[in-house]
């Protein structure tokens, strides 16, 4: 029977992705989640028809979620690991964002990670090791107090510190990008101390490689 063979070939193609850093084709687990669903659903459709096949197709929509299901699993593990640490876990479509307040991550005007925060980043690295079909963008932010150039430099150094720490835990450098935005992307008003404290942060954006 040739139909299932065709499905398997299509699945193999769908489960491959181009590494944005090396340009090489590689198997993507996120795509494989959806591709596996395509195999199962294709075989069901080939073997049956009518109401049963229609019901199966509804289930296949969930199985074929692919990237969404992959990120769901990663989000659940991160929330569990980071509960009570002060790090916020936010979901934005098929991307995850970890917001690390500056006051718990670094000392004032410093870019060396606080020793008591290192176990938190180690927990993040443990989860990232399990979900290799993602890349990370680490972005440092400051409030608007002080010289602009100084804030840019500090935010960049803090982002680099987090990126280097994750790399030291075995996360491939090819998966990491770091950048400093200084005061340019506030999430609260800089007119109040509480707002400025919120703006002093490092964000770790986790993006699926599709």
Give the CATH number of the domain where residue 187 resides. 3.30.1330.60
Same domain, 89 and 50: no
Same domain, 8 and 90: no
State the first-to-last Cα distance of the chain, in angstroms, to the nearest integer.
31
pLDDT confidence of residue 64: 46
Length of the chain, please? 210
Q: Which residues contact 79 (CB under 8 A, 6 or more apart)?
A: 89
Tell if the pTM clears 0.85, that is, is over it.
no
pLDDT confidence of residue 29: 52
Say if strands 176-180 and 134-141 run parallel, antiparallel, or are unpaired. parallel
Same domain, 22 and 75: no
Residue ending a domain, choose from 65, 86, 108: 65
Partners of residue 206 on adjacent β-strands: 96, 136
What gap in Å lies between CA 190 and CA 179, rounded to an integer?
Answer: 21
Same domain, 74 and 124: yes
Per-residue pLDDT of the chain (210 residues; tens, 9 = 90+): 443 433 333 444 444 555 444 445 544 455 555 554 444 445 445 445 554 444 444 334 434 458 999 999 999 999 999 999 999 999 999 999 999 999 899 988 899 999 999 999 999 999 999 999 999 999 999 999 999 999 999 999 999 999 999 999 999 999 999 999 999 999 999 999 999 999 999 999 999 987
pLDDT confidence of residue 16: 53
Would you give the DSSP letter of residue 133? S
Same domain, 144 and 98: yes
Give strand ranges (E) for the chain.
16-18, 25-27, 88-92, 95-101, 134-141, 176-180, 201-208
Half-sphere exposure of residue 172: CA atoms within 13 angstroms, side-chain side = 12
Give the CA distances from residue 124 to residues 15, 38, 93, 170, 177, in Å, rounded to whole numbers and listed in that order: 26, 31, 20, 12, 16
Partners of residue 207 on adjacent β-strands: 95, 135
pLDDT confidence of residue 100: 95
Contact 22, 174 (CB under 8 A): yes
Same domain, 77 and 112: yes
Same domain, 38 and 97: no
Same domain, 60 and 79: no
- Would the CA dihedral through 12, 13, 14, 19 be positive or negative? positive
- Compute how many other C-beta atoms are within 10 angstroms of the C-beta atom of residue 32: 20
Q: Which residues contact 53 (CB under 8 A, 6 or more apart)?
A: 44, 45
Say if strands 25-27 and 95-101 run parallel, antiparallel, or are unpaired. unpaired
Domain region containing 10 = 3-65
Same domain, 123 and 192: yes
Same domain, 123 and 186: yes
The total domain count for the chain is 2
Same domain, 125 and 187: yes
Contact 7, 122 (CB under 8 A): no
């Amino acid at each position: 029977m040739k139909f299932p063979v065709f499905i398997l070939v299509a699945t193999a193609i769908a489960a491959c992705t181009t590494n944005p850093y090396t340009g090489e084709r590689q198997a993507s687990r996120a795509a494989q989640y959806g591709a596996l669903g395509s195999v199962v659903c294709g075989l069901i459709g080939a073997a049956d028809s009518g109401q049963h096949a229609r019901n199966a197709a509804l289930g296949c929509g969930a199985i074929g979620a692919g990237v969404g299901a992959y990120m769901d699993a990663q989000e659940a593990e991160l929330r569990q690991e980071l509960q009570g640490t002060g790090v916020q876990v936010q979901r934005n479509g098929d991307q995850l964002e970890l917001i690390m307040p500056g006051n718990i991550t670094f000392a004032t005007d410093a870019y060396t990670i606080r020793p008591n925060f290192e176990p938190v980043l180690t927990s993040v690295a443990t989860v990232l090791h399990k979900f290799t079909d993602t890349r990370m963008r680490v972005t440092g932010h400051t409030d608007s107090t002080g010289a602009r150039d100084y804030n840019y430099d500090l935010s960049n150094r803090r982002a680099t510190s987090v990126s280097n720490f994750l790399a030291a835990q075995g996360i491939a450098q090819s998966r990491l990008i770091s950048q400093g935005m200084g005061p340019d992307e506030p999430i609260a008003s800089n007119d109040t101390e509480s707002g400025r404290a919120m703006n002093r942060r490092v964000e770790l954006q986790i993006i699926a490689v599709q």
